Structure 1
Amino acid sequence: MEDAFIGRQAILDLQKSVYAYEILFRSGLKNAFDPNLDGNVATQSVMVNAMLNFGMKKLVSNRKAFINFTEKNLLSRAPKLLPPDSIVVEVLETVQPTPEILEAVRDLKDAGYKIALDDFVLLPGYEPLINMADIIKVDFRMTTDPEERANLRKVLPPHVRLLAEKIETEDEFRQAVEDGYVLFQGYFFCKPVVLHQKRLTNNELSRIRLLKEVNRPNFD
């Protein structure tokens, strides 16, 4: 037996009610991500822990789970191991809008998955990804210019919902609301929590295969 760990942080709406949860990789009780860890491994661990060791229902109840996906994860269609009604596919800021990535994201959209762009910065060439996005996350610690934050609502397509990330004060929350942001995440509301429980050790590949099998439409 060994411990399984996972992080969870609430995402709130305008009424400060829980809209969803971001599910985060954690390797122990320390509430921080190891920057030296391979992102592909982290995503795989989050998926396995969420579905097999904890259970999505226990983690998020009837809300959706935001999960980060790297370029490799997207190209391999890893999100399809999880039901489309249970997750939001969060495209990391390091993912470039190559033709292959755009095809993968379009495939996920067609399959019913919601798409979020993480740590968004408006750059040339990202228009196709923006048009496919349902939610765009803006890091208030990274995008510090209030005018730049406000302008995003004016230039982005109206169907995109803006999520203000890393909100730390009441003033930042109020300003985000005034600027058209409708979802919120950050220490002002709550810090991520680390959940852990005992798990049975087994082969990681077998766990991924099991995850795929139990999500088949005609599961026996």
Structure 2
Amino acid sequence: MGIHSQQGLARELNVASAASQTSEATQLPVLMARQPIYTKSQDVAAYELLFRDEEGNFVQGLKDDDATLEVLLNTYSGISKEGKPESVPFFLKVTDQVLLSESIPDLPRHRFVLELLSHTEVTPVLIKRLQELAQAGYRLALSGFDPADNKFFPLLKIIHVLKLDIQLIGLERIPGLVQKLKPFNLELLADKVETQDEFRQCLEMGFALYMGYFLSKPTLVRGRKITGNKLILLELLTELQRPNATAESVQQIALKDAALTYKILRVVNSAAFNMQREISSLSHAIALLGMDQIRRWVMLFLSKSDNGKPDELTRNMLVRGRMCEILAELTQHSEPLDYFIVGLLSQLDVLMDTDMETLMTQVPLQQPIKDALLGRLGEHGKLLKEVEIYERGEFESLHHLVEKPFYEVAYRHSLKWAEQVLQAMSN
């Protein structure tokens, strides 16, 4: 890990108040979230933008708002792959009215895929307009395709990506449909993929892209036990939760795994870059930095997959944890770090492929945190549910714990923070 990336991450982790940073950030006229679109190997190929302004529109607001476009390109499209920052394209939903009014802003062609909606009225004028956009270099997608409705078939010769709602169409009908679509040479996107079994079936059918919450549900393995460095991390967490824990007692547990001890020491050493002396032991680091910072590092390492899970899962765990923490600060809850823990560990069952009830018997957390993770109960659970609602783009269901613009700024800040952490943990 390079010293500059270490120092940048250290500053993020030692930030005095995320709420103050959020208050100072540029506020946008829209609420935005992003949903990943995956490849066959479950890497992120693109993000679909979820958005809402006061009138329920997005593209019209983007046309005259360079700040929004800059945030999209610099933050929302950013991901970390093998520790290196990259950008992926967006799928941007547009109505036929927007297309025909020629109100699409001059977007970078390679960064946006224009997605037509199921209620699009297919007319000769629209077909001509889509042909012009395709010739101008835009990639076009169609969602909500109904194979029983002939109106869509003229579009199949123009668009590049066809999104098929596997729940609406039915998995049993998909193989025959895929065969009929082959002559059009379309990139097929399986939408509403809810389980790993559905993902495997779609994979066998030849889909190139996938959307849905299949990564957010555990594949339960009967009798699975937590082993390896995850077990050591849970032991560390147990000790760090004890009121009378000491730097030496924490170090004794970490020393059971030499490689993990070195890894923790390496990043913790970078967190103390502004101190005059080198950190020589974990107990020394804990004494200098305090239990809360060590506890945060243990949580971050706990979220990192070591069983082949896609990076997007860890990314989402980090984003969710950080956004919970920021909203806790903005709403003046005590112990914001506990809200970070709730958000971060809310998908621990998916990471471990073990049900949350079993995990909670092994994870040494305070009861309010366990209640939030098991049933979304209490203040911690209420705030976690709010973050989950936001990340799904269900903006109309928000309970407005803070003013609308602060949700987007908190989400944006969390995206950037998560990428910094992923980059640092990959080096």
Does the alignment reach a TM-score above 0.5? Answer: yes
1:183 and 2:209 correspond:
yes
Q: Which digits, 9 at most, give the CA deviation of each residue in 1:157-197, with x for residues without a partner? A: 35201101111101110111111111001111358736612
CA gap 1:78/1:189 in 2 versus in 1, 3 angstroms: farther
- In structure 1, runs of 5+ residues without a counterpart are 28-36, 199-220
Structure 1 counterpart of 2:97, from 72, 75, 78: 72
Give the SS at the match of 1:79: coil
Distance 1:80 1:129 in 2: 22
Give the SS at the match of 2:169: coil
Distance 2:117 2:103 in 1: 14
Give the structure 2 partner of residue 56 of structure 1: 73
Distance 2:154 2:59 in 1: 24
Structure 1 counterpart of 2:124, from 75, 99, 123: 99
Give the structure 2 partner of residue 211 of structure 1: none
Structure 2 counterpart of 1:44, from 60, 85, 91: 60
Alignment of 1:102-141 (within 5 A): 102-122=127-147, 123-141=149-167
Give the structure 2 partner of residue 9 of structure 1: 35
CA gap 1:91/1:60 in 2 versus in 1, 3 angstroms: same
Give the SS at the match of 1:125: helix
CA gap 1:86/1:188 in 2 versus in 1, 3 angstroms: same
Query: Contact 1:11/1:22 (CA < 8 Å) preserved in 2?
Result: yes
If asked which structure has higher relative contact order (CA below 8 Å, sep 6+), I would say 1
Question: Larger radius of gyration, structure 1 or 2?
Answer: 2
Give the structure 2 partner of residue 203 of structure 1: none
Query: Contact 1:66/1:87 (CA < 8 Å) preserved in 2?
Result: yes
Any runs of at least 4 consecutive aligned residues in structure 1 with deviations exceeding 6 A, and if so which?
A: none
Return the letter of the residue paired with 1:51. Answer: L
Query: Contact 2:146/2:152 (CA < 8 Å) preserved in 1?
Result: no
TM-score normalized with structure 1 length = 0.75
% identical aligned pairs: 30
Distance 1:83 1:2 in 2: 23
CA gap 1:5/1:120 in 2 versus in 1, 3 angstroms: same
Q: Which digits, 9 at most, give the CA deviation of each residue in 1:70-124, with x for residues without a partner? A: 0111102333531211100101111122011101110110000111001111221
Structure 2 counterpart of 1:155, from 180, 185, 209: 180
Give the SS at the match of 2:215: coil
CA gap 1:71/1:38 in 2 versus in 1, 3 angstroms: farther
Return the letter of the residue paired with 2:60. Answer: Q
The answer to which of 111-120 and 183-192 deviates more is 183-192
Distance 2:62 2:168 in 1: 25
CA gap 1:161/1:106 in 2 versus in 1, 3 angstroms: same
Structure with greater strand share of residues: 1
Alignment length (residue pairs): 186
Distance 2:61 2:166 in 1: 28
CA RMSD of aligned residues (A): 2.5
- In structure 2, runs of 5+ residues without a counterpart are 1-25, 79-86, 217-387, 394-406, 411-427
Distance 2:122 2:176 in 1: 22
Distance 2:61 2:51 in 1: 7
Shift of 1:129: 0.6
Structure with greater helix share of residues: 2
Distance 2:214 2:103 in 1: 32
Give the SS at the match of 1:81: coil
CA gap 1:38/1:154 in 2 versus in 1, 3 angstroms: farther
